[in-house]
Amino acid sequence: MAELADRFGRRFPYLRLSIIDACNFRCSYCLPEGYRAAGARPRWLELDEIARLLRAFARAGMRKVRITGGEPSLRRDLTDVLRIAATTPGVSTVAMTTNGSVLRRRLAEWHAAGLGALNVSVDSLDRARFHAITGRDGLDDILAAVDEATALGLRAVKLNAVLLRGVNDDELPAWLDWLRGRPVGLRFIELMQTGDNLDYFRRHHVRAEVLEARLQQAGWVLRPRAPDAGPAREYAHPDYAGRIGIIAPYSRDFCAGCNRLRVTSTGDLRLCLFGDAGISLRPLLQHDAQQDELFALLATQLGLKKAAHGLHQGDTGATPHLASVGG
């Protein structure tokens, strides 16, 4: 294995692979009008393309792959995708991010296929608020499925909550109650500005540091970062089974710890979530014989990865919303 690094010495053990850009939710910060394909429905990566892609990334040092979207569970062949990922030589963790809409029905099947880590997006523990944010009235079912996932023994079960001023920023006490007895990681994500959500961002963005200060006051302690960890700053507390992670993309050192690459549902490599363009890997995913060429392309592209995103300058790159690139 030839582990690749970029100009800044960053390695990339972590790939986020979007397998679909469509979604059945209408999260107010992501797809408030619901999913609409721009033009003809995109041709999402096929299973054999995904298998070749993952083999090449594993050769470049990728150890953990997260399947995301859009909503990955809308793909009928999701279980096959998970199985392919779990059986790719070199891959030790298959993770997925989902809105949880079919989690209860499909969890056992996904787990059997090799899913080891699960993130479920739950922005509020209040049923009416959850409905207002997502356009779906399914909170109770999703939370029950999260408990089932924990009981099933997945390596990691996490909840993602986007922090939204005036919408859910008063819910810390409810979250803490929920975490007390559950070995679940809760990740608070600072709202990111995308090409489509500028007004919403201005109204609802709240700095994650505000919440972090409240956690520290309540006795939560920052834990050291693991090498293949995501971007979260992780907090623990002796009285709680659960952990809290803070994802603050606007914080100073966010990019220095970047260990991830992204591939969109149609096979474009994104060096940064907020990078300008994606180069298409798809032409090199058509035959097994192209693996060396694909690997060489990855090596060249990594050399182009920038030191940091331009979000502070309001530069959101080519990202209209996170469903388009896989958040």
Using CB under 6 A, list all residues that contact ligand SAM. Answer: 23, 29-30, 68-69, 71, 97-99, 121, 160, 162, 189, 191-192, 194, 197, 322-323, 327
Q: Which is nearer to ligand SF4, 121 or 193 (CB)?
A: 121
In the complex, minimum distance from the CB of residue 32 to ligand SF4, in angstroms, rounded to a whole number? 8
Q: How far apart are CA 290 and CA 314, in angstroms?
A: 38
Binding span for ligand SF4 by CB under 6 A among 20-28, 75-83, 246-254, 261-269:
20-28
Q: Which is nearer to ligand SF4, 130 or 240 (CB)?
A: 130
Binding span for ligand SF4 by CB under 6 A among 21-29, 77-85, 145-153, 279-287:
21-29
The contacts of residue 38 (CB under 8 Å, 6+ apart) are none
**Site for ligand SF4 (CB under 6 A): which residue of 4, 15, 17, 30?**
30
The interface partner of residue 61, options being ligand SAM, ligand SF4, none and the CB cut-off 5 to 8 Å by kind, is none
Per-residue x/- mask for ligand SF4, residues 82 to 101, rule CB under 6 A? -----------------x--
Q: Which is nearer to ligand SAM, 160 or 259 (CB)?
A: 160
Q: Is 189 exposed, middle or buried (0-12, 13-18, 19+ CB in 10 A)?
A: buried
Which helix (H) or strand (E) covers residue 156, if one does?
strand 156-163
In the complex, minimum distance from the CB of residue 121 to ligand SAM, in angstroms, rounded to a whole number? 3
The contacts of residue 26 (CB under 8 Å, 6+ apart) are 32, 33, 34, 134, 135
The interface partner of residue 189, options being ligand SF4, ligand SAM, none and the CB cut-off 5 to 8 Å by kind, is ligand SAM
- Note the helical H segments in the chain: 47-59, 78-86, 103-113, 127-134, 139-152, 172-180, 198-204, 208-217, 291-302
The contacts of residue 238 (CB under 8 Å, 6+ apart) are 219
**Site for ligand SF4 (CB under 6 A): which residue of 17, 19, 20, 23?**
23
The contacts of residue 311 (CB under 8 Å, 6+ apart) are 192, 193, 249, 250, 274
Q: Which is nearer to ligand SF4, 13 or 69 (CB)?
A: 69
The interface partner of residue 31, options being ligand SF4, ligand SAM, none and the CB cut-off 5 to 8 Å by kind, is ligand SF4
The answer to whether 278 and 268 are in contact (CB under 8 A) is: yes
In the complex, minimum distance from the CB of residue 256 to ligand SF4, in angstroms, rounded to a whole number? 26
The contacts of residue 313 (CB under 8 Å, 6+ apart) are none
- How many CA within 13 A on the CB side of residue 254? 21
Please state, as a whole number, how many other Cβ atoms lie within 10 Å of the Cβ of residue 20. Answer: 24
The footprint of ligand SF4 on residues 105-144 (CB under 6 A) is 121
Is residue 25 near ligand SF4 by the rule CB under 6 A?
yes
Binding span for ligand SF4 by CB under 6 A among 2-10, 66-74, 141-149, 235-243:
66-74
Residue 208 DSSP SS3:
helix
Residues in binding contact with ligand SF4, number by CB under 6 A: 11
**Site for ligand SF4 (CB under 6 A): which residue of 15, 17, 31, 95?**
31
Is residue 19 near ligand SF4 by the rule CB under 6 A?
no
Write phi, then psi, for 280 (nearest 5 degrees). Answer: -80, 125
- Laid out side by side, the sheet with 233-236 consists of 221-222, 233-236, 243-247, 185-190, 156-163, 117-121, 93-98, 64-68, 14-18, 260-263, 268-270, 279-280
In the complex, minimum distance from the CB of residue 111 to ligand SAM, in angstroms, rounded to a whole number? 18
Partners of residue 14 on adjacent β-strands: 64, 260
Residue numbers at the binding site for ligand SF4 (CB under 6 A): 23, 25, 27, 30-31, 69-71, 99, 121, 323
